[in-house]
Amino acid sequence: MGEVIEISSTNSDAIFRALAESMPDFVCLASTHGELFYMNPAARRSVGLEDESAVASVTLRDFYTDESWRELRDLAVPAVNKAGQWEGRSRLKNIKSGQQTSAHTFMFRVKLSQSDRSSCLAILHRDAETWDRLRESLTESQARKNSILESSLDPIITINHEGLIIEFNRAAEQTFGHARDKVLNTRPSDVLFPPSNSEEQGNRIERYLESGEGSMLGKRVEVTVSRANGESFPAEMAMTMGQINGAPVLSFFVRDIGARKKAEEAQDHYAAELERSNRDLEQFAYVASHDLQEPLRKIRAFGDRLEVKCRDLLDDTAKECVSRMQSAAARMQELIEGLLTLSRVTTRARDFVQVDLAEVVRQVVGDLEAQIERVHGQVEIGRLPTIQAEPLQMRQLFQNLIANALKFHRPDEPPLVKVEAHYVSPRERRGSRKSVEEEKCRITVEDNGIGFETEYSERIFGIFQRLHTRDVYEGTGIGLAICRRIAEYHGGEIKAHGQPGQGSKFEVLLPAAQTKKKRSEAD
């Protein structure tokens, strides 16, 4: 506690004089008959008096225009005698120069002492232009504030230092179902919150107003609020403290999140159902492929017996039927193996580790050496980085892309396949420092083959989709579907570009580093 200072009448006179002498506004004291007995320096300068001693030689009437003096005498003084104060406009004149100025005037009645029943007039003038600019600024500020309040899509409610609502915007009326005039000067705990926790919220608000602090201030928190019809709904609310005329006020910014919560719940349910459906589908593909293998093996085994043991008993037509049966069974075997490979992308994946893509491509080219020699092809390996990935899937990715490039070559020109990669970053991050997790690796596999029409750039990634018949180019039509599944499993994407007779280019965009969440999904 600070030291209590007792102020005597002598001290109070000194304090008043020091305060008045430092004020930039016109301040004077006069008797109720208009006789001056004090003018501060700003007042003396305004009317052209050189020093304090000259005050006794003038009266109030001397430095007002006739019209202003009549208004002060006939309107202001009676109003002060009746209500204790008056406010209006005056025209002051300089005694020496005669120059006139406009001023905003405040007149008060002041008792000289508690024991003395006599009183005097205190008159304060403020430059009219300055006062007008101030009031205009305040009016504009209030207009902007009201515009913001009324145009806000979210409810905004303000309470004063007594805990009563003083602002309730249009959005609040629409959200809560209360008319503004019915809510003003009521307590928010009686209007905004369900009866079950209105007392708790009311106590919290009182503590915040008293202390100026609280755990919910400046934060967005989820609360349950209620409408006029008693319906409760979830809302996101922020509370901020401010001041009006030196007294604390508390503002609530409320957002109805009922629709968002329902959408989130529906999305979570849909995601769970989709995940379950994907698991069931992958399991079905895996199991069905295995179950299909057994009868297929018997078909091929009995076909082999017919060819070996009954060759001499079969005529040419029967031999052709057996050959076609074996060929169809072989194609079926390839399709089943392709489906198994596709399902294993997510069901049999290993952990993400550091994978040297250059080493992977060299191994793939070694595996394809016989095919490369058969078509007199060439594979050029450019710069390839090391990224976090599933090693076997990276091998499958390059195996399919390079094998496709070798297969779909032009008859009159040996295939040339170029494989390279480089790091890229999102457009908004270019030129700024980025973490490893934000790096992307763009892999390109380009060839000089037969190409394809642009309209088929998406279709070729579908399962069993082919642009050519089997008698021209062999294959199952699953390879590129596997490539897309691998790219998406790694959080990336694959695109195809081509022109007929001008070759093809496949671009695979993969994250350079996988997040922990992705690793856990791979386990």
Ranges of residues in the chain whose predicted pLDDT is under 70: 1-13, 112-118, 138-139, 141-143, 145-146, 195-205, 208-218, 245-246, 278, 281-282, 284-290, 334-335, 338-339, 341-349, 426-438, 462-477, 515-523
Show which of 237, 256, 275 is a domain's final residue: 256
75 and 157, same structural domain?
no
Cα–Cα distance for residue pair 418/367, rounded to 1 Å: 17
40 and 63, same structural domain?
yes
C-alpha dist (Å) from residue 428 to 90, 425, 440, 510: 62, 8, 13, 18
Q: How is residue 20 written in tokens?
A: 């008045």
Show which of 227, 256, 285 is a domain's final residue: 256
Show which of 256, 282, 308 is a domain's final residue: 256
187 and 67, same structural domain?
no
Q: Does a structural domain hold residue 133?
A: no
356 and 495, same structural domain?
yes
CATH of the domain at 365: 3.30.565.10
pLDDT score for 522? 40
CB atoms inside a 10 Å sphere around CB 299: 16
pTM of the model: 0.45
pLDDT score for 409? 80
pLDDT, tens digit, 9 for 90 and up, residues 268-312:
888 888 778 767 766 766 666 667 777 777 788 878 887 777 777
17 and 101, same structural domain?
yes
109 and 163, same structural domain?
no
pLDDT score for 257? 82
pLDDT score for 356? 93
Domain containing 285 equals 260-348
329 and 360, same structural domain?
no
pLDDT score for 445? 92
pLDDT score for 139? 67
357 and 327, same structural domain?
no
Total domains, the chain: 4
pLDDT score for 517? 44
504 and 398, same structural domain?
yes
CATH of the domain at 331: 1.10.287
183 and 44, same structural domain?
no
Cα–Cα distance for residue pair 114/327, rounded to 1 Å: 121
pLDDT score for 417? 92
373 and 252, same structural domain?
no
Residue in 175, 319, 313, 161 with CA at minimum distance from that of residue 235: 175
362 and 339, same structural domain?
no
CATH of the domain at 194: 3.30.450.20
C-alpha dist (Å) from residue 24 to 27, 43, 45, 46, 51: 9, 9, 11, 11, 16
pLDDT score for 343? 64
